Amino acid sequence: MPGKQNNHQDYRFGPEGYRVSMVAGIHYDSELPDLTRFDMHWIDLENWPRKRHFEMFQGVDMPHFNVVGELDVSHALAFCKTHSMSSFALILYLISRTANEMDNMRYRIRDGKVCLHTSVDPAFTVLGDDELYYHCRTRYRSDLLAFCEDVRQQIALSVKDKVLHTEPGVDDVIYLSCIPWVAFKGISHAMHMNPVDSIPRYYWGKYESHGDKTLMPFAVQVHHGVADGLHVGRQFQAMQAYLNQPEQLLT
């Protein structure tokens, strides 16, 4: 039986009323950046446990896989209401936090080699009053309230300046987008294939009530050379654990 729509989903973020965009896949230029600006290190491929798996997927035409599932956001929505917090900002934070807690979501492929970033930032899309999407990046912080304030400020700047690009070659990010109009069961992501893009993509969608629960579709796409279903599953589990007890994020 199809669930009914939850009318409490925030289609707009923050007091300025900037809407969440349905478009993901921020432009990624193949030009490599100045490596000295990144806090990262190269993986010794010869001694890397994933070496054979990585090499196998280097020869695959479409080396990415996509997992779609549902998360229970019932407690998280109540938490957001109590603390006057946007659920968009909270979900953005939780995806960023769980990605930063996992090496496999911070591996990046560059010219046949693999690096591991110390930290990755969320790069996401927002929708302006002109109903066109714009790109936004904010620094990941473990402090939830500080992160939410950064997001609010960066959204305002991105929409005001109509930002539609990122720095060429930057890969210390994860890409995120929300489709609050659709409780999707499947989704695909725009990305470059030459060279192959190894930045993880995340989507989440419309909340729907099912009995006493409110469920949210959640999708993760990763490069199979650096991550497996095990790692995506662990991120789903970590997300759900935080969503079940969001109050702990303030301690």
pLDDT tens for each residue of 27-45: 333 333 444 456 999 999 9
Whether cis (ω within 30° of 0) applies to the bond prior to 49 is no
Structure-token pair, residue 85 = 């917090």
Whole-structure pTM value: 0.85
**Confidence band, pLDDT 50/70/90 cuts, at residue 100:** very high
97 vs 11, more confident: 97
CB-count burial class (<10 Å; 0-12, 13-18, 19+) for 210: middle
pLDDT tens for each residue of 126-136: 999 999 999 99
pLDDT tens for each residue of 104-125: 999 999 999 999 999 999 999 9
Range 222-246 average pLDDT = 98
193, pLDDT greater than 80 = no
The per-residue pLDDT for 40 is 94
26, pLDDT greater than 90 = no
Range 155-159 average pLDDT = 91
Supply the DSSP symbol for 21.
Answer: P
The per-residue pLDDT for 191 is 79
Range 141-146 average pLDDT = 96
14, pLDDT greater than 50 = no
Helix, strand, coil % over all residues of the chain, rounded to 5: 30, 25, 40
Q: How far is residue 247's CA from residue 56's CA, in Å, rounded to a whole number?
A: 43
Q: Is 25 left (phi over 0), alpha (psi -120 to 50) or beta?
A: left
Neighbours of 250 (CB within 10 A): 10
The per-residue pLDDT for 166 is 67
Q: How far is residue 202's CA from residue 182's CA, in Å, rounded to a whole number?
A: 15
Q: How many residues does the chain have?
A: 251
13, pLDDT greater than 70 = no
172, pLDDT greater than 50 = yes
Q: How far is residue 31's CA from residue 63's CA, in Å, rounded to a whole number?
A: 21
